[in-house]
Structure 1
Amino acid sequence: MIDHDEAGAVRPLTLAWVSRHLQDGERIVRTEALHGGITAEMRRLTIGTPHGGTRDLVLRTFVDPVFVQHAEVMLNREAGVLALLTGTGVPTPGPVGVDPTAAQCEYPSLLMTHLTGRTVLDDQGLEARVPLLARQLAAINALRPAERPREYEAWTTADAVVPPDGADAAAWAAATDVIRRPPPPYEGRFLHRDFQPGNVLFDVEPPGLAGLRITGVVDWVQTSWGPADLDVAHCSTNLAMLHGPAWGLRFAEAYEEAGGALAATASERLYWRLLDALAFASGVRWVARPWQEAGRTELTTRAVERRLDAYVTALMDALG
Structure 2
Amino acid sequence: MTNRDEAQAVRPLTLAWVRRHLEVGERIVRTEALHGGITAEMRRLTIGTRDGGTRDLVLRSYVDPFYVERAESLLSGEVGALTLLAGTDVPAPGLVAVDPTATHCEYPSLLMTHLAGRTVLDDEGLETRVPLLARQLVAIHALRPAERPREYVALTTADTVVVPKGADAAAWAAAIDVIREPAPPYEGRFLHRDFQPGNVLFDVLPSKPGGARLSGVVDWAAASWGPADLDVAHCSTNLALLHGPAWGLRFAEAYEEAGGVPAATASERLYWRVRSGLAFSEEVQPVARQWREAGRAELTTRAVEERLDAYVTALMDALG
TM range (shorter): over 0.9
Map of 2:226 onto structure 1: 226
Map of 1:93 onto structure 2: 93
Number of aligned positions between the proteins: 320
Map of 1:217 onto structure 2: 217
- Cα deviation, residue 8, structure 1: 8.2
- Cα deviation, residue 282, structure 1: 1.7
Whichever residue aligns with residue 300 of structure 1, its letter is: T
Q: 1:12 to 1:78 in 2, by over 3 A?
A: same
**Is the 2:164–2:309 Cα contact (8 Å) retained in structure 1?**
yes
SS in 2 for 1:204: strand
**Is the 1:206–1:212 Cα contact (8 Å) retained in structure 2?**
no
- 1:283-298 aligned within 5 A: 283-298=283-298
Q: 1:221 to 1:304 in 2, by over 3 A?
A: same
SS in 1 for 2:262: coil
Q: 1:4 to 1:137 in 2, by over 3 A?
A: farther
Map of 1:19 onto structure 2: 19
Map of 1:176 onto structure 2: 176
Q: Distance in 2 between matches of 1:6 and 1:60?
A: 16
1:38-70, CA deviations, whole angstroms, 9 ceiling, x for partnerless residues?
Answer: 100000000011221100000000000111000
Q: 1:55 to 1:267 in 2, by over 3 A?
A: same
Q: Distance in 2 between matches of 1:205 and 1:318?
A: 36
Map of 1:135 onto structure 2: 135
Whichever residue aligns with residue 127 of structure 1, its letter is: E
Whichever residue aligns with residue 316 of structure 1, its letter is: M
Q: Distance in 2 between matches of 1:7 and 1:153?
A: 37
1:190-218, CA deviations, whole angstroms, 9 ceiling, x for partnerless residues?
Answer: 10000000000001137425642111000
Map of 2:68 onto structure 1: 68
Q: Distance in 2 between matches of 1:139 and 1:182?
A: 28
Map of 1:159 onto structure 2: 159
Map of 2:81 onto structure 1: 81
Q: Distance in 1 between matches of 2:285 and 2:52?
A: 44
SS in 1 for 2:205: coil
- Cα deviation, residue 36, structure 1: 0.7
Map of 2:111 onto structure 1: 111
- Cα deviation, residue 3, structure 1: 2.7
Sequence identity, in percent?
Answer: 78
**Is the 1:274–1:312 Cα contact (8 Å) retained in structure 2?**
yes
Q: Distance in 2 between matches of 1:106 and 1:272?
A: 39
- Cα deviation, residue 4, structure 1: 6.7
Report the TM-score, using the length of structure 2 for normalisation: 0.97
1:155-176, CA deviations, whole angstroms, 9 ceiling, x for partnerless residues?
Answer: 3011111211221111111100
For structure 1, list consecutive stretches of 5 or more residues without a partner in the other structure: none
For structure 2, list consecutive stretches of 5 or more residues without a partner in the other structure: none
**Is the 1:79–1:95 Cα contact (8 Å) retained in structure 2?**
yes
**Is the 1:5–1:32 Cα contact (8 Å) retained in structure 2?**
no
Map of 1:248 onto structure 2: 248
Q: Distance in 2 between matches of 1:226 and 1:14?
A: 35
**Is the 1:100–1:110 Cα contact (8 Å) retained in structure 2?**
yes
Q: Distance in 2 between matches of 1:117 and 1:77?
A: 24
Whichever residue aligns with residue 108 of structure 1, its letter is: P
1:98-135, CA deviations, whole angstroms, 9 ceiling, x for partnerless residues?
Answer: 00000000000000000000000000000000000000
CA RMSD of aligned residues (A): 1.4
Map of 1:279 onto structure 2: 279
Consecutive aligned runs of 4 or more in structure 1 exceeding 6 Å deviation: 4-8
**Is the 1:4–1:32 Cα contact (8 Å) retained in structure 2?**
no
1:220-245, CA deviations, whole angstroms, 9 ceiling, x for partnerless residues?
Answer: 00001111111000000000000000
Q: 1:191 to 1:5 in 2, by over 3 A?
A: farther
Map of 1:36 onto structure 2: 36
SS in 2 for 1:256: helix
Q: Distance in 2 between matches of 1:9 and 1:164?
A: 39
- 1:294-309 aligned within 5 A: 294-309=294-309
**Is the 1:8–1:33 Cα contact (8 Å) retained in structure 2?**
no
Q: Distance in 2 between matches of 1:166 and 1:69?
A: 37
- Cα deviation, residue 9, structure 1: 1.0
Whichever residue aligns with residue 298 of structure 1, its letter is: E
